[in-house]
Amino acid sequence: SQTIHQWPATLVQPVGSPLSLECTVEGTSNPNLYWYRQAAGRGLQLLFYSVGIGQISSEVPQNLSASRPQDRQFILSSKKLLLSDSGFYLCAWSPSGGETDTQYFGPGTRLTVL
């Protein structure tokens, strides 16, 4: 069966510091991978998605970036965090070729920028 991992679970960072969040998927090959952010009391905002290694689509211009160095690894980064980057960051996967298929979410990282 497939599992998706995210770490860390919680993170408190000062404004201006860098960020690196990691997501890995097990039990499937060539998954589509997604990064979402959910701000307090808000809906899910798609940040990036990837259909393969090195292929990243950005949905929202911001100070975040994403990379996919391996088939089942997706990384979300920032060089300098802003207060507005606080939120619940969720990684998700869907089967290869299934961009409109069900997405399965990891447990998320709760980021607080102070």
Partner 1 sequence: RKEVEQDPGPFNVPEGATVAFNCTYSNSASQSFFWYRQDCRKEPKLLMSVYSSGNEDGRFTAQLNRASQYISLLIRDSKLSDSATYLCVASGNTPLVFGKGTRLSVIA
Interacting residue ranges for partner 1, rule: CB under 8 A: 32, 34, 42-44, 46, 49, 59, 88, 90, 94, 99-108, 110
81 or 90: CB nearest partner 1 = 90
Tokens encoding 41 = 């009391």
Least separation in angstroms between CB 16 and partner 1: 27
17 or 57: CB nearest partner 1 = 57
Give the 3-state secondary structure of residue 84.
helix
17 or 103: CB nearest partner 1 = 103
Tokens encoding 2 = 């497939």
Task: Label residue 51 exposed, middle or buried (CB < 10 Å: 0-12, 13-18, 19+).
Answer: middle
